[in-house]
Structure 1
Amino acid sequence: MSSFRILSLAALVASPALAESHATPHDAGLTYGVRPAYLISQMEDGALKDKLQSCVAQAPKVSKFSIGHRGAPLMFPEHTEESNRAAAAMGAGILECDVTFTADKELVCRHAQNDLHTTTDIVATDLGQKCTTPFAPASGDQTATAECRTSDLTLAEFMTLKPKMDAADRSATTPEAYLGGTADWRTDLYVDNATLMTHARSIELFDSLGADFTPELKSPSVEMPFDGFSQQDYAQKLIDAYKDAGIDASRVWPQSFNLDDVLYWIEAEPEFGAQAVYLVEWTDGFDEQSADTWLQDFAALKEQGVNYLAPSMNMLLTVEENGDIGASAYALAAKEAGLDLIAWTLERSGPLKTGGGWYYQSVTEAIDRDGDYFEVLDVVAQDVGVIGVFSDWPATVTYYANCMGL
């Protein structure tokens, strides 16, 4: 581990020069940190471990195979400037803003329109009374509750909130206690003075960091149209922000779980629509090896102009007869139809010793150690052939991509 080149992420994240410069950061300023080396040390002995260990002396380089998922939220509050600066410092070549809207129809970066109660301090502020469901304390068998939406606030009000790690203490009897609950495999070390972002600010920041863009149009929690603001208005406003900023469409991969959004972009904004990403996820009854359970018609998607499909990680993996992790029939069929695949989300599950949780439910029996992150990554890269991987800690994917020449 000592042979790794270790730089201070905190210094890079706090650097005004990095935040404000409009030049692409030089590769020499990047860092893997210590985590890739730790994960390699936890792998079973074999050819993949040997290959990854052979790259310990390499200098980090930016890779578009490495996509920052909400920045680097394994340790930084998601969708903050600091989280994305950290992701860029780890070589993520593409960064994500999940896009939703405020009461005055301004676009901001949040994973969901209704997550302010777990990702900010709103319940402990005066604005908490404006929430769709203000905080109610735990009592008896009832857990603490709250639901706070960006659409409950104006942009000006939203920007007064303080971001935090995505968590809540459901046993809380006070709003202040409700702000706790951070998982023990995450940290609150980098919460202080974290900065919320508008969508426009994310474009400015990511461009200054030399990264490309993958904004996700989030499903509204409010009924649409919202005060005359239709779903198509919403989808168009996302694209207009990049046009207004002078960003070339070739640098933008707009995403949505709503196929209608993707088809709208293909029709109304064909340059952006050519790179629109249709997001899909594991649902009840899905079997990665049985086409009868698949909800997507890959040939039909291609005929409609969809070029990029982004399934959740569990949809792309299966356990082979010899007990190894392999590419699922679903993944291979999508590739055969000509769809480019993107995987999400590596390192979203914390320690893997108990099977990896939701993201790895198709291969739980083959997952029992943190080193399996690299085993999974190798399968989706080499056997599935994805073109990019979202990660909550992009250094892991960057290291792999650099080592493998992706």
Structure 2
Amino acid sequence: MTLTIEKTDVKKQAILAKNAARTLSMLTTAQKNKALHILADHLEGNYEYILEQNEKDLERGRGKGFEAAFMDRLSLSKERIKDFADGLRQVAELDDPTGKIVSDWTLENQLQVQKVTVPLGVIGMIYEARPNVTVDATGLALKSGNAIVLKGGSNAITSNKAIVDVMHEALEKTDIPKEAVQFINTTDREATSQLFTMKEYIDVLIPRGGGALINAVVNHATVPVLETGVGNCHIYIDKEAQVEKALNILINAKTDRPAVCNAAETVILHEDWFNENKHAFVEKLKEFNVSIHGDASVVEAIQDAKLAGEEDWANEYLSLDIAVKVVSSLDEAVDHIEQYGTKHSEAIVTENHDTAKKFMMLVDAAALYHNASTRFTDGGALGFGAEIGISTQKLHARGPMGLPSLTTIKYMMHGTGQTR
């Protein structure tokens, strides 16, 4: 039976996605992979149109005086379009997460039981100004057999609509119904609020963006939420940290891409290490134009350091700013992370493996690192392909969410007439 369409446009789009999800769930891996390659080719072939539409968003952003980091996330180029087209091709090469028999057994009455992975159904994706998310989320949803309803941020609406228009043209040449990809083309917040309560049609919501967006979804949605989190990530440099190693890890985590969620925002220094290596620490941060917001001991010891307030310890700067805290013990570092961390990614730099083990057991986060940068909290970097977001919750999925996170399970029983 096909669902009927009525009332609001958002509900209409959700129903279209629900109906398309049935068709999509029956397609073979080969059909889905072929479609992803066609999508990738079509995006690359229409890059000029996409860039032309992207420029309209950039022009509005410049007029509003958006910061450089925000404009970088919003900006597209021929190379970036090629990158996310290549991302679709990479997703096509990944294992299909659906139809896997997780376990099977036979009961005493010879009833055969199978636990099998299946698509979630319809994913509602609510995100801010990163047009690449439109492509990444769509590719992951389609490969895992899910339809998707996209609600991007208002600042990227022209770019996102152009990308979806191109993808719809491409889907006309595939076995995937174009209705499986829905884009809510409005800046009206009421449309987003409607998505929150469409349990009949949307199986899961995934918010991706700043804390205000994520909190709004988590606090108001009646649809189940796969919660992604902001990244107030910490690096704790222990008293037994090797100096060059510690500074290289810190600089990579802070400056490689400051505007992403796995960048370090706070560095916690053991006082013994800080007192011994203060000059090298300051010179390294100056070399990379990093601004220091520190506690009283840091401000006293470092010229030009700004005194950190409560907001600095909780802040996801997404810029070349860093909060610096000096502590007297590992336990004090763990307590600070417990109070201000967002359960995203946390790192310790130390040559003492017992200290590292204690840190990794005590700190509650999706990703923990010993002697490595937090920048590896990424589906591609960890070796399982693209991601739809970083989950900081503990139910169903945690950490980078790749294809397996977009499935659920069914128990399928095969009998010969058994009754109970």
Q: TM-score, normalised by structure 1?
A: 0.30
**Greater strand content:** 2
Of structures 1 and 2, the larger Rg is shown by 2
**Greater helix content:** 2
